[in-house]
Structure 1
Amino acid sequence: MKAIVQDRFGPPDTLRLADVDRPEPADGQVLVRVHAAAVNPYDWHMLRGDPYAARLLGGIGLTRPKQRVAGIDAAGEVAAVGPGVPGLSPGDAVLGFCPGAFAEYAVTTPDLLVPKPESLTFEQAAAVPMAAVTALRGISTVGRVRAGQRVLVNGAGGGVGTFAVQVAVSLGAEVTGVCGADKAGLVRSLGAAYVVDHAREDWTDGRRRHDVILDNVGNLPPSRVRRALTPAGTLVANGGGTPGRVFGAIGGMLRVVALNVVVRQRLAVIVPSAPSGPTREDLTAVSELVASGRLTPVIGRTLPLKDAAEAVRHVERGHALGKTVLAVR
């Protein structure tokens, strides 16, 4: 089968298209024929082995990538099931977390898959898992957003941000989206009451305060972001950091946790979803929001599988509109 492989840590150019053996499902596993796969910041962190501290935790690999075939978000059809897998049959359309998703086939476990909503194409479905689950956690689980609250989403035009705006709106919040001027129209169309162009306005000047801020960018110190919070507001930090740093986003998150001890406002972090983090409950929740029409994936760019390096490079630059997706089939 065709797959995008990486044999060493490095920039996107280390990714290459290769012929590899098709995996087979073992006990309790599912083989998915991948129709589409989405690109996430998670993927370029895995690609670069960034931050270095994460290599010691075992999920990335110490000296070389632990997962040779790249990718994690996928949508496709069940090709085969191993022994001990009830409820799934060949031909079922699914979406979820499939380690090695940048390939024609990938093996995963049934708890990381849910049925694909009929209203979605495979490309749209692939855009859902990591970004939508992260948005739901940031807004609902960690942010505890309630109807009538003021919510600000920094990075509102990106993968997590476009979902986060919609989740907050669905909960009855008044949403302000921070993004570039080129994404303002899209963010308004998702339900944001206000849109701030970060290049022209300082949303941290304190003139407008919010009950909850979801910061998907992490380029400003928490002490500055707090100026845009109400006295008892909540800041939810989602990642940040740059490639090649020793601690990267981990360092920024630790600073938020430490500051939370000494301030009145509530400062919290959300670790972006990865195979070890999400549950079937998370995936089911976002799938139900999609099926109900309250959540719509935004795809800014679709590329063929062979162009995976360019897709990852595009996401790594940090200005992608919505989700970037690889068409595999």
Structure 2
Amino acid sequence: MRAWVRESYGGPGVLRLEERPDPVAGPGELLVRVHASTVNRTDLAYLTGRPWVNRAVCGWPRPRAWARVLGSEYAGVVEAVGPGVTSYAVGDRVCGFADGRPGAHAERVVVAADSLVARLPGGWSFAGAAPAMEGAHYALAMPRVARTRPGDRVLILGATGAIGSALVQLLVADDVAVTAVSDQPLPDALRELPVTEEVAGPYDVVADAAGKSSFAACRHLLAPRGTYVSSDLGRGGVNLLLAAAHPRVRFPVPKAGPEVATEIAGRMAAGSYRPLIDRTYAFDELPAAYAYVATGRKVGNVVVTHDAAS
């Protein structure tokens, strides 16, 4: 199969398109023929090894063997199931997020059958479904840990990113009053929702979906019992430390099992969630997709189509 491989950390220039042996589904695994994938900030961090904690995960001084082929989101068709798998069958159309186990920037990828994977809802293309899981599963963790309820007022910072744009849609569907702001204009798909862009607190929750703010900067916007959550550890892990010590700070540790994937797929089927797509690149253009994500200006998601069937 063809796969984009890197042997060292760096920018998009370290990626090389190579022929590699097809992977094989082991016990509890699926072999998926990838029709579409994405490039997200997780992939970029793994590629560059920045922040440096990513090198502790992927290997030092060079990436470990499992981290040579990146790509954490995918949509495609199950080509084989490993021993013990009964939840999927050959021919199933699926989408998912391989958290901590990349490999989707190739023609085939092996994923755990009990990971964040679900069947595509009817009518969804591979390209439309490929970015469905990563941003949404991070987004779902934020209201869960903040314990939002219908009628709550929530300010979303970074509302145009993959996580932020998913969070806007998920909260609106749950009857939460959303104020959505970003350093980029909101796309039409979000403007069509009942959201406001005028920041006027106090808020029950301030959700930093881009990880670019801080509790100190947002504290004045919170109601007396309001909660601050961020999708990022913060400088020096400050958000994690505050969550352990401060009653008004929560850290949203995401869940990545099949139950969460089923919930996301259900929202897709109901029409209450559709991942935003900024740009689409062909598989042979993958380095250009990484270069665009590295600008920090993407709105929603960047999709990579592996063939015409996407």
Q: Distance in 2 between matches of 1:215 and 1:235?
A: 8
Residue deviations 1:166-209, cap 9 Å, x none? 111111111011124532544212x242125xxxxxx5xxx522
C-alpha distance in structure 1 between counterparts of 2:187 and 2:120, whole Å: 29
Query: 1:226 matched to which residue of 2?
Result: 219
- Aligned pair count? 301
**Residue 176 of structure 1 pairs with residue 179 of structure 2:** yes
Task: Work out whether 1:55 is the aligned partner of 2:55.
Answer: yes
| Aligned equivalent of 2:238 | 255
User: Aligned pair in 2 of structure 1 residues 186, 195: CA closer, same or farther (>3 Å)?
Assistant: farther
2:76 corresponding residue in structure 1? 76
Question: What is the CA-CA distance between 1:69 and the residue it aligns to?
Answer: 0.8
Q: Could you say what secondary structure the match of 1:175 adopts?
A: strand
Change beyond 3 A, Cα 1:73–1:184: closer
SS where residue 304 of structure 2 aligns?
strand
2:75 partner SS:
strand
Deviation at 1:250, TM superposition (A): 5.5
- Residue pairs, 1:188-267, within 5 angstroms: 188-189=191-192, 191-196=193-198, 203=199, 207-239=200-232, 249=233, 251-252=235-236, 254-260=237-243, 266-267=248-249
C-alpha distance in 2 between matches for 1:270 and 1:315: 24
For structure 2, the residue ranges without an aligned partner over 5 or more in a row are none
Counterpart position of 2:250: 268
**Is 1:132 equivalent to 2:100 in the alignment?**
no
Q: What percentage of residue pairs aligned between the two structures are identical?
A: 34
Give the Cα separation in 1 of the matches to 2:175 and 2:249. Answer: 22
Post-superposition offset of 1:231: 1.5
- How far apart, CA to CA, are the structure 2 residues paired with 1:88 and 1:217? 34
Q: Which runs of 5+ in 1 are unaligned?
A: 197-202, 240-248
Instruction: Tell me how far apart the structure 2 counterparts of residues 114 and 106 of structure 1 sit (CA, whole Å).
Output: 15
Structure 1 contact 165–192 (Cα < 8 Å) conserved: no
Is residue 148 of structure 1 aligned with residue 144 of structure 2?
Answer: no
Question: Contact 1:132–1:160 (CA<8 Å) still a contact in 2?
Answer: yes
Secondary structure (helix, strand or coil) at the match of 1:111 reads coil
**Pairwise mapping of residues 23-42 of structure 1 onto structure 2 (< 5 A)?**
23-42=23-42
Residue 309 (str. 1) matches residue 287 (str. 2): yes
Q: Secondary structure at the match of 2:226?
A: strand
Aligned to 2:105, what secondary structure does the other structure show? Answer: coil
Moved over 6 A (4+): none
Match of 1:280 in 2: 258
- CA change 1:184–1:325 in 2 (3 A) is closer
Q: CA deviation at 1:290?
A: 0.8
Write the distance in 2 (CA, Å) between the matches of 1:27 and 1:193: 46
TM-score between both structures, scaled by the size of structure 1: 0.86
Between the aligned partners of 2:9 and 2:169, the Cα distance in structure 1 is: 35
Alignment CA distance shift 1:278-1:187 (3 Å):
same
Q: Which residue identity is paired with 1:4?
A: W
| Structure 1 residues 64 and 294: alpha-carbon distance in aligned structure 2, compared to 1, 3 A threshold | same
Q: For 1:208, what is the secondary structure of its paired residue?
A: coil
CA distance in 2, matches of 1:181, 1:74: 27
Residues 54-85 of structure 1: CA deviation (Å, up to 9, x unaligned): 433xx322222231111011010001112211
For the pair 1:64 / 2:62, whether they are aligned, the reply is yes
Computed over aligned residues only, the root mean square deviation of the Cα atoms, in angstroms, reads 1.9
How high is the TM-score relative to the length of structure 2? 0.91
Structure 1 residue 234, shift from structure 2 partner? 0.9
**CA distance 1:174–1:25, change in 2 (3 Å):** same
The one-letter code of the counterpart of 2:166 is F
How far the C-alpha of 1:41 sits from its partner, in A, is 0.5
C-alpha distance 105-258 of structure 1, shift in aligned 2 (>3 A): closer
The separation in 1 between residues aligned to 2:243 and 2:29, in whole angstroms, is 41
